[in-house]
């Protein structure tokens, strides 16, 4: 029994749950991204006055889990630094519109987003940005309130988005799925009216981060990741009627 408990703790199964921090996700989105997204929707142009670098910290957050995490692990929140991450060693959370997507639209289309298509367009949507906010806050909360398990893992490896843990790509691990499920929750919030018509692959295509994981994982890890992600989606009532058949 002790070995079973240790294994469950190691896999993070006792802490897996949807974290109710929508209020703080909305706060950060409204404060730092909403104006730019609405202006972009209106003009179709990515200009130099959009998605500017900014900074705040976790003390502005108000939901119960965020307040608890902030008490013992106050972190700087970087806005639009170009990438999304939680780095416990530097006590920083970064939330950003994809810098590569911005540069791509500027370099190839002169900033005219209306000439883009597919996943490029989805990089600048409310649900994509809220998903990124939710994702990184969950990593911070999960790490802080659960004995700094993520910090300990990262201390043993390189802090990079492609690091392997126990020879498993990080994007397919249980603690990463714990954050990915919150990206999916934001997709559901936006597309609940058509959710049951979507296949699993359809849903993946709505999310640039999930689509990247889906495309880049080797087959042996992809199969496991899909299984584990669908299991979490089922538990959280997020698995659409057509998603388990694909």
Q: Using alpha carbons, list the distances in angstroms from residue 136 to 34, 132, 212.
A: 18, 6, 17
DSSP state of 46: -
What mean pLDDT, rounded, does the chain reach?
Answer: 85
Q: Give pTM, 2 decimals.
A: 0.76
Which residues are bridge partners to 77 per DSSP?
Answer: 56, 93
From CA 207, how far away is CA 106, in angstroms rounded?
22
**CA nearest 109: which of 120, 124, 119?**
120
208 pLDDT band (50/70/90 cuts)? confident
Containing 56, the helix (H) or strand (E) segment is strand 54-57
Which pLDDT value is given to residue 158? 42
Q: Using alpha carbons, list the distances in angstroms from residue 168 to 117, 182, 218.
A: 32, 21, 10
pLDDT at residue 34 greater than cutoff 60 = yes
pLDDT at residue 190 greater than cutoff 60 = yes
Report pLDDT digits (tens) over 121-149.
889 999 999 999 999 999 999 899 887 66
Which pLDDT value is given to residue 116? 85
Which pLDDT value is given to residue 12? 43
Are the beta carbons of 188 and 161 closer than 8 angstroms? no
**CA nearest 169: which of 54, 177, 68?**
177
- Kindly list the domain boundaries of the chain, sorted by start residue: 14-245
Name residue, tokens 């058509």: 194
> What are the φ and ψ backbone dihedral angles of 92, each rounded to 5 degrees?
-130, 140
pLDDT at residue 156 greater than cutoff 60 = no
**CA nearest 232: which of 186, 177, 190, 187?**
177
Joined tokens for residue 66 = 């965020």
CA-based Rg of the chain, rounded to a whole angstrom?
18
């Amino acid at each position: 029994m002790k070995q079973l408990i240790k294994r469950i703790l190691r896999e993070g199964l006792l802490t897996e749950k949807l974290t109710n921090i929508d209020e703080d996700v909305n706060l950060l989105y409204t404060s730092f991204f909403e104006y730019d997204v609405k202006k972009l929707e209106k003009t179709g142009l990515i200009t130099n006055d959009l998605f500017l670098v900014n900074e705040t910290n976790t003390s502005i957050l108000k939901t119960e889990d965020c307040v608890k995490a902030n008490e013992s692990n106050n972190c700087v929140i970087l806005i639009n630094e170009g990438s999304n991450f939680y780095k416990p060693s530097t006590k920083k959370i970064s939330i950003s519109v994809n810098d590569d997507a911005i540069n791509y639209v500027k370099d190839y289309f002169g900033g005219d987003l209306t000439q883009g298509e597919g996943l490029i367009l989805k990089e600048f949507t409310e649900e994509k940005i809220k998903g990124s906010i939710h994702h990184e806050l969950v990593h911070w909360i999960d790490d802080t309130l659960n004995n700094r398990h993520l910090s300990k893992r990262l201390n043993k490896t390189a802090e990079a988005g492609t690091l392997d843990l126990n020879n498993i790509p990080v994007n397919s691990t249980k603690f990463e799925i714990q954050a990915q499920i919150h990206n999916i929750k934001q997709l559901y919030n936006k597309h609940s009216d058509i959710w049951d018509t979507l296949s699993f692959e359809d849903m993946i295509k709505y999310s640039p981060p999930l689509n990247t994981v889906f495309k880049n994982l080797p087959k042996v890890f992809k199969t496991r990741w899909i299984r584990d992600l669908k299991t979490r989606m089922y538990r959280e009532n997020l698995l659409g009627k057509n998603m388990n058949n694909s």
